[in-house]
C-alpha cells in the first residue's frame, strides 16, 4: 500500500519505520533536510524535502496513487489543510494529528468537513492509557480488547508471589480462574508458554482474561491491589490536562506541579477540580512538601525524558506505589524498565499502534476486520483482535483439528458476552471476536494464522 | 565496520556472479568451442567461494554508510578477481595481471584491452567480456538488490556508493523496487538495441555482444577494428544514438514512462549534456571538413559517433581519431573529463558536477562583487544543499589528484606523454581508447604490470567515484573503535 507521511518528527518517524517494515511504500515529506536525513539513511522509504501543503510536493510524492496520507506536523492547522488538499488531489483516506484541546470538542464537525477519515491525538491517547494504569495499579500495562470485555494485563513477578516456581499447569489446578498466560517476557525474550512452562522471579507475564477475573487472580496470587485515590502529576502539558480530566471523571484526586506560571493559571481555569502547584517537578523539597510519599501514584510528564526518569526514580524511592514516566525516546525504555520503573508511556508508540491497526484493516477490507492491536516489546510480539465472519475459512472446526503457524496462540474467543479461553474442542464461529497472540510475524487477516493445508 | 555482515553481503554478490557465468557457458556450448569447460569450472569455483562465505554467522545487523561503501568496494574487487577466472582457465589470457586488467576493464565499463587480435578469441570469452560490461554498467550490487526478494533499508548505503552521481535518487519508496525498475528500463533499452542491430544486418551474436557493451557504455567489441569493422552507416547511426541514450539519467526515462515528458527538458543536466554533445559535434565536423579530412556528410557521421562514444564513456570507434587534427583530439580529451549525466551507465566526472562547479564559481564571483550577498545554488528550481556542493568540490579535487599520481606512476614506463596521460584519463573516466599507442587502433599490452595494476585501480576508482575505494583503504574505517 502506498502511504504518504507529512512531518518527520517523533511520531512521523515511528510511523514511517513501522509502516515500511510492514511492506508498505512510504513517502515522507518534511521541510527540514536534517530531519529527513535519518529517515533516508535508516529506513527504506522515499524522502521528499518540501512543504506538505504545496500541491506540487504532494503530486511529486504521488498523492494521486496513494491510499493513505498521514499528516503529523507540529501544527494542527497545517495537518488539517494538508489532508484537505490531499483529499482534493485524490488520496483515498487521510489521517491527521490534531491535539489542541480547543479543537477536540469540534472534532466530529471538523472530520466531516475536512474529509478526515481518522483523527489522532497522541496526548489524549497517552492520557487515556495512564488513567487506565492508575485504575489498575498492579499492572505495568493494560490493554483492552473486545470493547473492554477482555484485558491483557502486564505483570512483573516479584519475590513472594505464590506462583513463583510453579508450572502453568499447576497454577490452573490450584487457582480456578479462567485466565490465560499469553506471553512471558524473560531476559528480553518473548516466550509463548505451554503447560510445562515454569514461572520464575522477574518474569513479565501478559495475562489475558475478563477484567474482574484478572484482578481477582492477581489478588489470589498475592499481588495487592489497593485502589489509588490521589495522583501527583509532574509537568502540566497537554497529557497532564487530559489525564487530570479523565481522573476527575473517575473521582481520583489529582495534583499537577507545573513550572510555568502562566500555564498554571491556564490549567487552573481549565481544571477547576484539580490542584495546580506552581513549581519545579524535579525539586525534591517541593515534592516532599506536597506529600509525595502519601501519593497513590506519581506520573512524570515533563518534556524532558531525563527529568521524567529522575523524578520517577525519586518518587519510587519515596515509596510511591505506582510510578509512571513518559518517555519519548524508544531506546531509553529498556534502561528505565531495568531500573525499576515498569510503567513507561510513549505517546508516539501508542499512536503507531492505532495507525498500524488502521492500515492493516484497510489492507484487508474484504477479510475479517481488525478490532484492536497491541504490540509487546517493540512489536516483536503482538496481541491482535479480529472479528470472525463469513470470509474466515475455518469456522466451526474444533481448534485441535487446525494446524496453526508457528508462534500463534488463540488466546481468547469472545462470543456475545461469554469469554472463552479456548481448548481443543472449542471452535470459532461467525461473529466471534478472536484475540490472538502472535510472535515474530505480521498478521493482517484471520486466515493468515493457518499453516497451509 | 561490521566485517561479518560485509562478508555475508559479498557472498551473495559472488553467488550471483557465478550464476551469470552460465550465460557465456551456454554460448560456448552452442558454438562448441573449447572454452565451455573454463566457464563451468569458473562458475563452480566462484559459487563454492560464495557459499563458503555465506556460512559466516552474522552477530549484529548494524550497517552504516561506511559498511555500504566497504561492501561496494570489496564486491568490485572480488567480482573482478573471480571474473578473470574464465580468461585464465581457458588460456586466452595466461598472465593473471592481464586477466585482472581485462576483467576490471569489463566490469568498470572501461573497455580498455590488452588483446591485439580479438577475432581469434573463443566466442564465449568475447561474450563474457561484453556481459561483464552490461552488469557493471548498471551495477553489480544494484543487480543484487533487484534480484533479492527483500533488500532492506541498509541497501540505500550500497546504492549510494555504487550509483554514479552526487545524490542518487530513489524512484519509488522501496529500494529493491527502485533497483528492479532501473534494471527493467536497462533491459528494455538493451533489447531495443539488439533488435535494431539485427535489422541493420548484424548477426545475432555480434548484435548481443555490441548491445551489451553499448548499454553498459563499455566499448568491448568482437572486432579488433570496433564498430568501424562493419563499415555500415546504419549501424553507426544506431550505435551513436544509443550511446547518447545510455548517457542520460535513467530517472528521466522513468518519469517519461510515468507520462511526464517535459521532465527531459526541465532537467538542467540533460540540457547541458545535449548542448555539449551538439556543440562538440559541430566544432569537430567543421575542423575535420576544413582540414580536408572528410566530406561534410562523412565528417558529421564520424564526429557524431566519436563524440558520443567519448562523452558517454563507451569508447567505440569507427575511425582512427588518433590521426585527426589536434583541435578535434583536444575536444575529445576535454569530453573524457566531463562524461555523461549522473544516474546513467557512464563514467567520468559527470555533467551535473561540472554544472555545480560552474555555479559555485559564479557564486564565488558574486561574493567578491557583493561581499554580503546570500546566494543559494539552484538546480532546476531546487536548492542544492551545502554538503552536496562541498562533496562535489572534494570529488573533483580527489579525481584530479588520483589522475596526477597515477600518471606519475605510469610515466615510469617511459612511454610518450600523450599516451601515458590519456591512458590514465580514459581509465579513470572508464572510456577505453586514448591517444597515441593506446588510440582506437592500439591497446594496453605495451604497459608494464605495475602500470596495468595502477590503471586497474583507476578504473574501479572511476566507476565507483573514488570514495568507496578510499574508505576501504582508510585504516580509521576498520578500527574497532574508530576515533
Predicted confidence (pLDDT) per residue in A296-316, tens digit = 899 999 988 888 988 899 898
pLDDT tens, residue by residue, B199-218: 999 999 999 999 999 999 98
> Which residues of chain A does B174 touch, with a Cβ-Cβ cutoff of 8 Å?
25, 44
Q: Tell me, what's the pLDDT at A367? A: 67
> Which residues of chain B does A20 touch, with a Cβ-Cβ cutoff of 8 Å?
153, 173
Asked whether residue B384 is domain-assigned, the answer is no
Asked whether residue B407 is domain-assigned, the answer is no
Does A45 touch chain B if contact means CB atoms closer than 8 Å?
Answer: yes
Cα torsion A440, A165, A151, A242 to 10°: value is -90
3-state secondary structure of A128: helix
Q: Tell me, what's the pLDDT at B149? A: 67
**Under an 8 A CB cutoff, do A44 and B385 touch?**
no
> Which residues of chain A does B160 touch, with a Cβ-Cβ cutoff of 8 Å?
none
**Under an 8 A CB cutoff, do B172 and A25 touch?**
yes
**Under an 8 A CB cutoff, do A25 and B385 touch?**
no
Q: How many domains does chain B have?
A: 1
- Selected residues 169-208 of chain B with any CB under 8 Å from a CB in chain A: 170, 172-175, 177
Instruction: Please indicate whether residue A332 or residue B77 has the higher confidence score (pLDDT).
Output: B77
A39: distance to nearest CA of chain B, Å? 10
3-state secondary structure of B366: helix
pLDDT tens, residue by residue, B293-346: 899 999 999 999 999 999 999 989 998 888 999 999 999 999 999 999 998 998
- Which of B156, B173, B386 should one mutate to test binding to chain A, selecting the residue with the greatest count of A CBs within 10 A? B173
- Selected residues 23-82 of chain B with any CB under 8 Å from a CB in chain A: 64-65
Q: Tell me, what's the pLDDT at A453? A: 52
pLDDT tens, residue by residue, A227-238: 888 899 999 888
A10: distance to nearest CA of chain B, Å? 19
Q: Tell me, what's the pLDDT at B300? A: 93
pLDDT tens, residue by residue, A30-88: 998 888 888 888 888 899 988 989 998 998 888 988 999 999 998 989 999 999 999 99
B177 closest CA partner among A26, A359, A36: A26
CATH topology of domain A230-345: Rossmann fold (3.40.50)
> Which residues of chain B does A40 touch, with a Cβ-Cβ cutoff of 8 Å?
156
What gap in Å lies between CA A92 and CA B441, rounded to an integer?
62
Does A69 touch chain B if contact means CB atoms closer than 8 Å?
Answer: no
Same fold, A142-220 and A366-449: yes
pLDDT tens, residue by residue, A261-283: 999 999 998 888 889 999 888 88
pLDDT at A223 over 90: no
**Under an 8 A CB cutoff, do B170 and A46 touch?**
yes
Mean pLDDT of chain A: 85
Band (pLDDT 50/70/90 cuts) for residue B152 is low
Was domain A2-120 assigned CATH 3.40.50.720? yes
Q: Tell me, what's the pLDDT at B153? A: 67
Does B156 touch chain A if contact means CB atoms closer than 8 Å?
Answer: yes
What is the DSSP secondary structure assignment for residue A300, as one 8-state letter? E
**Under an 8 A CB cutoff, do A27 and B173 touch?**
yes
Name which of A41, A42, A46 is nearest B173 (Cβ-Cβ).
Answer: A46
**Under an 8 A CB cutoff, do B153 and A25 touch?**
no
pLDDT at B131 over 90: yes
> Which residues of chain A does B170 touch, with a Cβ-Cβ cutoff of 8 Å?
46
> Which residues of chain B does A46 touch, with a Cβ-Cβ cutoff of 8 Å?
170, 172-173
3-state secondary structure of B80: helix
What gap in Å lies between CA A288 and CA A285, rounded to an integer?
5
Rounded to a whole number, what is the largest CA-CA distance in chain B?
73
pLDDT tens, residue by residue, A164-183: 888 888 887 777 677 888 88
Q: Tell me, what's the pLDDT at B351? A: 93
What gap in Å lies between CA A364 and CA A354, rounded to an integer?
16
Band (pLDDT 50/70/90 cuts) for residue A28 is very high
- Bridge partners of A419, per DSSP, are A414
A24: distance to nearest CA of chain B, Å? 8
A vs B, Cβ pairs < 8 A, gives 30
- Bridge partners of A28, per DSSP, are A5, A47
- Which of A3, A28, A44 should one mutate to test binding to chain B, selecting the residue with the greatest count of B CBs within 10 A? A44
Q: Tell me, what's the pLDDT at A194? A: 81
B75: distance to nearest CA of chain A, Å? 21
pLDDT tens, residue by residue, B95-120: 999 999 999 999 999 989 998 888 88
Band (pLDDT 50/70/90 cuts) for residue B150 is low
> Which residues of chain B does A41 touch, with a Cβ-Cβ cutoff of 8 Å?
64-65, 156-157
**Under an 8 A CB cutoff, do B153 and A44 touch?**
yes
**Under an 8 A CB cutoff, do B153 and A27 touch?**
no
3-state secondary structure of B445: helix
What gap in Å lies between CA B71 and CA A285, rounded to an integer?
57
Q: Which DSSP helix (H) or strand (E) runs through B139? A: none
Does B152 touch chain A if contact means CB atoms closer than 8 Å?
Answer: yes
> Which residues of chain B does A2 touch, with a Cβ-Cβ cutoff of 8 Å?
173
What gap in Å lies between CA B268 and CA B264, rounded to an integer?
9
pLDDT at B272 over 60: yes
Domain boundaries, chain A: 2-120, 142-220, 230-345, 366-449
B314 closest CA partner among B414, B422, B432, B416: B432
CATH topology of domain A366-449: Alpha-Beta Plaits (3.30.70)
pLDDT tens, residue by residue, B5-64: 889 889 989 999 999 999 999 999 998 888 889 999 999 999 999 999 988 888 887 788
Q: Do residues B350 and B342 make contact, with C-beta atoms less than 8 angstroms apart?
A: yes
3-state secondary structure of A254: strand
Q: How far apart are the first and last CA of chain B?
A: 13
Q: Cα B427 to chain center, whole Å?
A: 10
Asked whether residue B12 is domain-assigned, the answer is yes
Asked whether residue B391 is domain-assigned, the answer is no
Q: Tell me, what's the pLDDT at B302? A: 93
What gap in Å lies between CA B152 and CA B71, rounded to an integer?
15
Asked whether residue B27 is domain-assigned, the answer is yes
Name which of A25, A33, A41 is nearest B173 (Cβ-Cβ).
Answer: A25
Of the ranges A162-166, A407-411, B217-221, the best mean pLDDT one: B217-221
Go through chain B and tell me how many residues it has.
483
Q: Tell me, what's the pLDDT at B332? A: 94
What gap in Å lies between CA B420 and CA B426, rounded to an integer?
10
Band (pLDDT 50/70/90 cuts) for residue A124 is confident
Asked whether residue B134 is domain-assigned, the answer is yes
- Asked which of A101-110, A135-144, A437-446 is least confident by mean pLDDT, the reply is A101-110
> Which residues of chain A does B263 touch, with a Cβ-Cβ cutoff of 8 Å?
none
Angle at A400 between CA A397 and CA A406, to 5 degrees: 110
Mean pLDDT of chain B: 90
- Bridge partners of A25, per DSSP, are A2
From the candidate CATH numbers 3.90.79.10, 3.30.70.1450, 3.40.640.10, 2.40.10.10, the one assigned to the domain spanning A142-220: 3.30.70.1450
pLDDT tens, residue by residue, B158-173: 887 788 777 777 888 8
Please give the average per-residue pLDDT across A17-23, as a whole number: 87
What gap in Å lies between CA A424 and CA B18, rounded to an integer?
51
Please tell me which residue of chain A has the smallest CA distance to B178: A46
Q: What number of CA atoms fall less than 13 Å from residue A199's CA on the CB side? A: 29
- Bridge partners of B87, per DSSP, are none
> Which residues of chain B does A42 touch, with a Cβ-Cβ cutoff of 8 Å?
153
B72: distance to nearest CA of chain A, Å? 16
Q: Do residues B31 and B123 make contact, with C-beta atoms less than 8 angstroms apart?
A: yes
Instruction: Please indicate whether residue B432 or residue A452 has the higher confidence score (pLDDT).
Output: B432
Please report the DSSP string for A94-111 in residue order: EEEE---HHHHTTHHHHH
pLDDT tens, residue by residue, A364-403: 666 677 777 787 766 778 888 888 888 888 888 888 888 8
**Under an 8 A CB cutoff, do A27 and B155 touch?**
no
Band (pLDDT 50/70/90 cuts) for residue B151 is low
Amino acid at each position: 500500500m502506498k502511504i504518504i507521511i507529512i512531518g518527520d518528527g517523533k511520531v512521523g518517524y515511528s510511523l514511517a519505520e513501522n509502516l515500511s517494515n510492514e511492506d508498505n511504500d512510504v513517502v515522507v515529506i518534511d521541510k527540514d533536510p536534517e530531519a529527513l536525513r535519518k529517515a533516508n539513511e535508516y529506513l527504506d522509504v522515499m524522502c521528499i524535502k518540501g512543504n506538505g501543503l504545496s500541491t506540487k510536493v504532494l503530486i511529486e510524492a504521488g498523492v494521486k496513487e496513494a491510499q493513505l496520507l498521514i499528516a503529523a506536523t507540529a501544527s494542527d492547522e497545517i495537518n488539517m489543510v494538508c489532508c484537505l488538499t490531499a483529499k482534493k488531489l485524490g488520496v483515498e483516506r487521510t489521517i491527521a494529528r490534531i491535539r489542541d484541546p480547543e479543537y477536540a470538542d469540534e472534532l466530529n464537525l471538523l472530520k466531516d468537513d475536512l474529509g478526515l477519515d481518522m483523527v489522532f491525538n497522541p496526548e489524549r491517547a497517552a492520557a487515556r492509557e495512564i488513567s487506565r494504569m492508575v485504575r489498575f495499579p498492579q499492572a505495568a500495562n493494560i490493554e483492552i480488547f473486545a470493547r473492554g470485555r477482555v484485558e491483557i494485563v502486564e505483570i512483573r513477578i516479584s519475590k513472594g508471589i505464590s506462583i513463583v516456581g510453579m508450572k502453568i499447569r499447576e497454577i490452573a489446578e490450584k487457582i480456578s480462574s479462567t485466565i490465560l498466560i499469553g506471553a512471558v517476557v524473560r531476559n528480553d525474550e518473548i516466550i509463548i508458554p505451554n503447560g510445562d512452562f515454569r514461572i520464575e522471579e522477574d518474569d513479565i507475564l501478559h495475562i489475558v482474561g475478563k477484567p474482574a477475573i484478572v484482578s481477582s487472580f492477581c489478588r489470589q496470587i498475592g499481588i495487592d491491589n489497593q485502589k489509588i485515590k490521589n495522583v501527583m502529576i509532574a509537568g502540566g502539558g497537554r497529557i497532564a490536562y487530559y489525564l487530570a480530566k479523565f481522573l476527575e471523571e473517575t473521582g481520583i484526586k489529582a495534583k499537577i506541579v507545573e513550572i510555568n506560571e502562566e500555564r498554571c493559571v491556564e490549567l487552573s481555569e481549565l481544571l477547576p477540580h484539580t490542584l495546580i502547584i506552581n513549581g519545579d517537578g524535579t525539586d525534591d523539597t517541593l515534592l516532599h512538601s506536597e506529600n509525595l510519599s502519601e501519593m497513590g501514584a506519581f506520573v512524570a510528564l515533563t518534556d524532558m525524558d531525563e527529568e521524567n526518569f529522575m523524578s520517577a526514580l525519586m518518587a519510587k524511592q519515596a515509596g510511591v506505589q505506582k510510578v509512571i514516566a513518559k518517555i519519548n525516546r524508544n531506546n531509553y525504555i529498556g534502561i528505565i524498565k531495568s531500573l525499576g520503573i515498569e510503567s513507561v508511556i510513549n505517546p508516539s508508540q501508542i499512536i503507531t499502534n492505532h495507525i498500524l491497526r488502521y492500515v492493516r484493516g484497510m489492507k484487508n477490507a474484504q477479510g475479517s476486520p481488525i478490532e484492536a492491536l497491541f504490540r509487546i516489546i517493540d512489536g516483536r510480539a503482538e496481541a491482535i483482535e479480529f472479528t470472525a465472519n463469513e470470509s474466515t475459512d475455518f469456522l466451526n472446526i474444533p481448534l485441535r483439528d487446525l494446524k496453526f503457524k508457528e508462534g500463534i496462540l488463540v488466546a481468547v474467543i469472545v462470543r456475545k458476552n461469554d469469554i472463552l479461553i479456548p481448548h481443543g474442542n472449542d471452535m470459532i464461529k461467525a461473529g466471534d471476536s478472536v484475540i490472538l497472540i502472535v510472535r515474530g510475524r505480521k498478521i493482517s487477516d484471520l486466515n493468515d494464522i493457518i499453516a497451509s493445508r | 565496520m561490521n566485517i561479518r555482515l560485509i562478508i555475508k553481503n559479498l557472498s551473495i554478490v559472488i553467488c550471483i556472479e557465478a550464476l551469470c557465468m552460465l550465460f557465456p557457458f551456454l554460448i560456448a556450448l552452442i558454438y562448441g568451442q573449447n572454452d565451455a569447460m573454463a566457464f563451468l569450472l569458473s562458475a563452480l569455483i566462484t559459487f563454492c567461494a560464495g557459499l563458503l562465505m555465506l556460512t559466516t554467522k552474522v552477530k549484529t545487523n548494524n550497517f552504516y554508510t561506511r559498511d555500504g561503501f566497504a561492501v561496494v568496494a570489496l564486491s568490485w574487487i572480488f567480482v573482478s578477481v573471480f571474473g578473470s577466472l574464465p580468461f585464465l582457465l581457458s588460456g586466452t589470457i595466461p598472465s593473471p595481471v592481464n586477466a585482472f586488467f581485462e576483467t576490471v576493464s569489463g566490469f568498470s565499463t572501461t573497455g580498455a584491452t590488452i588483446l591485439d587480435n580479438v577475432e581469434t578469441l573463443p566466442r564465449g570469452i568475447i561474450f563474457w567480456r561484453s556481459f561483464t560490461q552490461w552488469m557493471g554498467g548498471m551495477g553489480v550490487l544494484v543487480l543484487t538488490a533487484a534480484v533479492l526478494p527483500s533488500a532492506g533499508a541498509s541497501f540505500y548505503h550500497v546504492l549510494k556508493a555504487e550509483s554514479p552521481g552526487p545524490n542518487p535518487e530513489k524512484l519509488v519508496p522501496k529500494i529493491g523496487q527502485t533497483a528492479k525498475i532501473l534494471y527493467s528500463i536497462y533491459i528494455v533499452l538493451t533489447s531495443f538495441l539488439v533488435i535494431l542491430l539485427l535489422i541493420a544486418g548484424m548477426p545475432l551474436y555480434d548484435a548481443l555482444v555490441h548491445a551489451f557493451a553499448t548499454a553498459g557504455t563499455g566499448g568491448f567489441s568482437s572486432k579488433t577494428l570496433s564498430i568501424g569493422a562493419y563499415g555500415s552507416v546504419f549501424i553507426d547511426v544506431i550505435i551513436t544514438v544509443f550511446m547518447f541514450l545510455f548517457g542520460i539519467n535513467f530517472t528521466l526515462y522513468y518519469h517519461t514512462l510515468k507520462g511526464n515528458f517535459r521532465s527531459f527538458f526541465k532537467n538542467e543536466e540533460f540540457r547541458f549534456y545535449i548542448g555539449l554533445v551538439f556543440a562538440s559535434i559541430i566544432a569537430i565536423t567543421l575542423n575535420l571538413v576544413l582540414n580536408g579530412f572528410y566530406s561534410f556528410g562523412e565528417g558529421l557521421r564520424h564526429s557524431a559517433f566519436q563524440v558520443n562514444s567519448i562523452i558517454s564513456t563507451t569508447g567505440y570507434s569507427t575511425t582512427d581519431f588518433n590521426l585527426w587534427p589536434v583541435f578535434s583530439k583536444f575536444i575529445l580529451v576535454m569530453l573524457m573529463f566531463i562524461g555523461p549525466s549522473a544516474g546513467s551507465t557512464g563514467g567520468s566526472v559527470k555533467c551535473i558536477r561540472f554544472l555545480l562547479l560552474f555555479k559555485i564559481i559564479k557564486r564565488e564571483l558574486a561574493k567578491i562583487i557583493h561581499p554580503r550577498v546570500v546566494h543559494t545554488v539552484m538546480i532546476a528550481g531546487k536548492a542544492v544543499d551545502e554538503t552536496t556542493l562541498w562533496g562535489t568540490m572534494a570529488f573533483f579535487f580527489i579525481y584530479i589528484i588520483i589522475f596526477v599520481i597515477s600518471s606519475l606512476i605510469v610515466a615510469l614506463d617511459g612511454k610518450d606523454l600523450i599516451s601515458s596521460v590519456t591512458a590514465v584519463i580514459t581509465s579513470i573516466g572508464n572510456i577505453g581508447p586514448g591517444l597515441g599507442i593506446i588510440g582506437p587502433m592500439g591497446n594496453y599490452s605495451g604497459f608494464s604490470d605495475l602500470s596495468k595494476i595502477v590503471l586497474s585501480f583507476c578504473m574501479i576508482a572511476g566507476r565507483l567515484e573514488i570514495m568507496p575505494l578510499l574508505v576501504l583503504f582508510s585504516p580509521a574505517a576498520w578500527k574497532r573503535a574508530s576515533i
